[in-house]
Amino acid sequence: MAKRVQLVLNQDISKLGKSGDLVEVAPGYARNYLIPQKFAVHATPGILKQVERRREVERQRQLELKAQAMEQKAALEKVASYSIAKQVGENDAIFGTVTTQEVATVIQQITGQEIDRRGMTIPDIGQIGTYKAEIKLHSDVTAVVNIEVVSM
């Protein structure tokens, strides 16, 4: 069996690794595909130091993003509840449903913070009352806010 070659990936390659990963591949795969396409470079001590520096910078950036998400969570949960007015029919049933876009709009009006509605999970709301919504602000930070549905 031929000797394996160590490379550092310049970009993500499925089934091989992510950008900056140190991988061992067959020499022909490295020589004929990865290196000519500039998907990878030979692993030298200088390249490995650069990769470590990039990882440290990325780790610091992620820590800053998490700190910002924690501040945003505290600001969102400081408000007791967010009210959404809907038309009501019989038995306190609302017409239509409460959407994540409506919740994001109400939060922005009250707190001034823009929330991505795609990171929001709300229960099926069919009647007036108080409901809890989860808002994913970061991979490790989730805020839980109260949504109060009232009649117009």
pLDDT tens over the chain, length 152 residues: 568 999 999 999 999 999 888 999 999 999 999 999 999 999 999 988 988 898 899 899 999 999 999 998 988 888 888 999 988 888 888 888 888 999 999 999 988 888 888 989 999 888 899 999 999 988 888 999 999 999 88
Its domain, for residue 54, covers 5-64
- List the CATH number of the domain containing 49: 3.40.5.10
Whether residues 49 and 78 share a domain: the answer is no
Tokens of 13: 């390659």
Tokens of 146: 């109260």
pTM of the model: 0.68
Q: Among 99, 74, 86, 69, which residue's Cα sits nearest to residue 128?
A: 86
End of a domain among 20, 44, 64? Answer: 64
* DSSP designation for 112: -
| The Cα angle at residue 60 between residues 54 and 62, in degrees rounded to 5 | 100
pLDDT of residue 113: 85
Alpha-carbon gap, residue 141 to 1, rounded angstroms: 48
Whether residues 55 and 22 share a domain: the answer is yes
Q: End-to-end CA distance of the chain, in Å?
A: 76
End of a domain among 47, 64, 81? Answer: 64
